[in-house]
Amino acid sequence: MTGTVGGPPIQELYRLRRDAELHLGEDGSLSLRQTRFQLALEQPGMGRRALLLRLAADWVSDVEVGRLVIGLEGESRVLPAQLLLRRLVAHCWLDRRVQVADRPLFDLLPTGLGRGSLPETRPHLPGTHYRLSRFATLAPDQDRLVAASSLSTLTVGCADAALGAVLAAAARGIGPETVARTLGVPPEVAARVLDELVTARILVTAAEFAAEHDDPPLAYWSPEELRLHQRSRVGRHVLPVGGTYRLRDRFAPQPLRRHHDGGPAVELPMPDPATILKADPPFSQVVADRRSVRQHDEADPLTVDRLAEFLYRSQHTTAIGQAGGQEVGHRPYPGGGGVYELEIYPLVARCAGLDPGLYHYDPVGHRLEPVAGWGPAADRLLAYARGAGAMSRPPQTVLVVTARVQRLMWKYEGMSYAMILKDAGVLTHQMYLVATAMGLAPCALGAGDSHAFAELSGLDPLVEPSVADFLLGAGRAAGTAGQVGPS
């Protein structure tokens, strides 16, 4: 597709999308494949076969399509080749490049696949200024800057670095004149640039920009949360999601068991399942009684035996085996693929039988490994937990839940952090049920001081970040219960 009004022609070039491959069958047929998707092209003919091979290797223009097919099959076969090209574009099998003369300006990169995956065309409105969308992101991708929006299935690659300056100016608002001046292109080219950026929802009108901030439903979403949601779910895009084992050939998997060498471990008493079974209330009663309790029994605080039973019933790990070349196991709660990336670090402020400090619970050996003594970072962590839990006094124990992200990301792609949050939610529920059955005082926190924890533990937050926090203490006797929360 070309345009020649008032200046050098606007050309559109095509190339097979980077995440797709062209496969040749034994019967001479060709097929396009992208992860779990496939498009069969049975006996495409010499000209279209040559076209597909060129598309898989490099950018191809409409003019080159005609020359290629005419040279192999004659002019009568150009139309079928062009129809194939349009079909591939409509079904998002091709990236598109827009250039002026020999100067590439931008690439249009679909993230969906199949008819209807491309967004509806939204040409710019004359006399209207456009802003950079609140949901737009700019990120490097191989050799170019790519602009994307969580509200669109089309991303824009900046083949010309000057387009990045256009997007930077759009933070304040731009019109076609700014685009033309920044890129040094004629008005009709600037109009085409605006058209594509508006279609991809990278740029929005002033009214749309205001609605993104002020009107439901978009005003409720933060850009980070919407990106996480869209990336970790399939349907709108065909990026890899799931157990792809993308790092299997690059790194060795981490073992299931996490060790800390902070000093002699505290061996914990092993609970007796038969005794627990007799003492526990019925499951339906536990579910009905589950509440957040924000006061701890100061006269009769948590003991090491009770903490040991709680940790065992919440996190004890058994049945260690192999799956996909990775150690997996079994815990009292479900975890994605049996990977069990979550670890529990009790920050003990007051627990009979334990010195104050930070410990790591070894769920395989059922013991506590000392990590750090008490210090300023522990004070900050405890103070934040007290405030977040709306407690009148400091909690007796803060259970910090971390994620060994490399264990999960070694196997899963596109959904790893979303899965970590789901696993943390399941573990939180498990801890609530166990604490309720044991008559303890549980309270989950919406957030914790990750920086204080990283400082205290010495753990790299990119390797093992804290992802959840849970307060635990001795519950008051019946009739003397303290603050009980609605959660």
Rg (CA), the chain: 30
Give pLDDT, residue 481.
44
Phi, psi of 272 (to 5 degrees): -95, 110
Place of tokens 């073992």: 255
Average pLDDT for residues 182-205, to the nearest whole number?
A: 97
Total number of residues shown for the chain: 487
- 331-346 pLDDT, tens digit per residue, is 999 999 999 999 999 9
Average pLDDT for residues 37-47, to the nearest whole number?
A: 88
Top-confidence residue, 72 or 35: 72
Average pLDDT for residues 226-255, to the nearest whole number?
A: 95
Q: How far is CA 485 from CA 386, 418, 438, in A?
A: 14, 27, 18
Give the confidence band of 479 by pLDDT, cuts at 50, 70, 90.
very low
Token reading at 227: 């990106």
Give pLDDT, residue 5.
47
Report the CATH number of the 243-485 domain: 3.40.109.10
Phi-psi region of 86 (alpha: psi -120 to 50; beta: other; left: phi over 0): alpha
The full set of domain ranges for the chain reads 2-214, 243-485
Q: How far is CA 23 from CA 40, 58, 110, 246, 314, in A?
A: 9, 16, 21, 22, 50
Average pLDDT for residues 132-151, to the nearest whole number?
A: 95
- 89-112 pLDDT, tens digit per residue, is 999 999 999 999 999 999 999 999
**Domain 2-214 adopts which CATH fold?**
Outer Surface Protein A; domain 3 (3.90.930)
